[in-house]
Amino acid sequence: MPTPIQIIVNPNAAGGRGREVVSDLRRLLDERGLDYRLQLTERPGHAGELAEKAEGDGSRKLLVVGGDGTLHEVANGLLKGDGAIPAVAVLPVGTGNDFHRMVHGSGELPAVLTTLTDGLVRPFDVGLVRWVGGEEYFVNLLGMGIDVAVLQRRSHFHLLPGLMQYLGALGAAGVTFRPFPVVVEAETMSEGRFHWEGRTLLTAITVGPSVGGGFLLSPEARPDDQALDLFLAGGMGVASVIRHLPSVLRGTHRNIRQVHMHQIRRARIQSADDTPLHFELDGELMPDPSPWLEIEVIPGVLRILDQPAAGPVRVRS
């Protein structure tokens, strides 16, 4: 007998939007006669636990209802397990939903359910970061610098939509944030070794092009190119940030003098003055700062259900 479709819902995503879609989700699943098991997350980290259990139970398909943070937990649960990784569809109900900008299909509920039943599997890359005392996967973003300061202030702007939340928090963070010294070493895909030392406003490594609900930080990044994308902004003042912000939103910032962009296989980021580095993964602040981070790409390990143009493998319920 085929196993039920596993559905993991973060009811608190985007201030409760996850909970709001549950009744419509159940109705449409029932109308389509699908066999499913729907579970709500109850605490931070619970989505990863549910995903790991679903993998262990032999589930072939998994629907994630939430934002980038929920998908981050699910991916870590799946990739740390030892079973066959199920194909994952995403119903984006988070604040930023930058991961969903990497897929071809619509984020509307009926379209997502069609993808869940008849979608094609695309192998997505992920990043793996190690630091003093830990390691974790990320599905779209590792960031440090002003984006950490933005996350620390974002809750004050929770009534605004995703990108406006980020812009409001960015304005508040820019008043007090100061660039800090780092050393960055990276192995690029085509240019050999990259070495940089200085004060950074923002250092980010991404799987896809978009962060913060729509900033095209690395506009040419793709989730299936077996590479990560490094974005490094040197020290800038508030006036420079404001002046260049429209370019970053449009993805036309490559020629800004203080910006370095490279496609990479791996990187090491180290504090230049031994001050521990605060960092975030997929929009979630990591609790333990570290004096160094080591990052590498893990190609094609996440199996994402999508609409054409996508991979050739069709997964049946």
pLDDT tens digits, one per residue of 202-224? 999 999 999 988 889 999 999 99
The residue among 144, 195, 183 whose CA lies nearest residue 273 is 183
Q: What is the pLDDT of residues 102-161, one digit of tens each?
A: 999 899 999 999 999 999 999 999 999 999 989 999 999 999 998 888 877 776 776 676
Q: What local confidence, expressed as pLDDT, does residue 83 receive? A: 86
- Report pLDDT for 143: 96
Let me know whether 156 and 72 are in one domain.
no
CA-based torsion, 99, 105, 108, 112: positive or negative = negative
Strand, coil or helix: what is 47? helix
Residues counted in the chain = 317
- Residue 289 pLDDT exceeds 60: yes
Same domain, 215 and 236: yes
Confidence of residue 310 (pLDDT cuts 50, 70, 90): very low
Spatial CB neighbours of 299, under 8 Å, sequence gap ≥ 6:
123, 125, 226
Find the farthest-apart pair of alpha carbons in the chain and give their distance in angstroms, rounded.
62
Count the domains in the chain: 2
Q: What's the average model confidence in pLDDT over 89-93?
A: 96
Could you give the C-alpha distances from 293 to 21, 126, 133, in angstroms and in order? 38, 16, 11
Backbone angles phi, psi at 85, to 5 degrees: -70, 125
**Statement: residue 46 has pLDDT above 90:** yes
User: Can you tell me the distance from the alpha carbon of 264 to that of 188, in angstroms, rounded to the nearest whole number?
Assistant: 4
* Rounded Cα distance, 36 and 38, in Å: 6
Cα(143)–Cα(52) distance, rounded to whole angstroms? 26
CA 313 – CA 120 distance, rounded (Å): 6
Q: Which two tokens stand for residue 192?
A: 């050999």
The CATH number covering residue 249 comes to: 2.60.200.40
Residue 109 and residue 141 in one domain? no
The CATH code of the domain that includes 86 is 3.40.50.10330
74/162 same-domain check: no
Closest listed residue to residue 283, CA positions, set 103, 66, 91, 21 = 66
Is 288 exposed, middle or buried (CB count within 10 Å of its CB: 0-12, 13-18, 19+)? exposed
Provide the residue type at 45 as one letter: G
Do 135 and 276 lie in one domain? The reply is yes
Q: Which domain holds residue 85?
A: 5-124+301-314
Q: Which residues, listed in sequence order, are joined to residue 221 by a DSSP beta bridge?
A: none
Residue 311 has pLDDT above 80, yes or no: no
Alpha-carbon dihedral sign for residues 2, 39, 13, 145: negative
Q: Do 269 and 148 have their domain in common? A: yes
181 and 77, same structural domain?
A: no
Helices and strands: H and E segment counts in the chain:
8, 17
Chain position carrying tokens 């930023």: 96
Assess whether 143 and 100 both reside in one domain. no
Arithmetic mean of pLDDT over the chain: 90
Please tell me what DSSP assigns to residue 160: S
Per residue in 238-283, pLDDT (tens digit) is 667 767 777 877 788 888 888 999 999 999 999 999 999 999 999 9
Strand, coil or helix: 305: strand
Report how far apart, in Å, the C-alpha atoms of 137 and of each of 23, 36, 143, 150, 206 are.
Answer: 32, 27, 13, 22, 12
Same domain, 145 and 292: yes
Residue (of 45, 278, 57) closest to 182 by Cα position: 278
Judge if 153 and 295 occupy the same domain.
yes
Q: Using one digit for the tens of pLDDT, what is the confidence trace for 48-57?
A: 999 999 999 9
Q: Which residues contact 151 (CB under 8 A, 6 or more apart)?
A: 169, 280, 283, 284, 285
Q: Do 137 and 274 fall within a single domain?
A: yes
Whether 305 and 278 map to the same domain: the answer is no
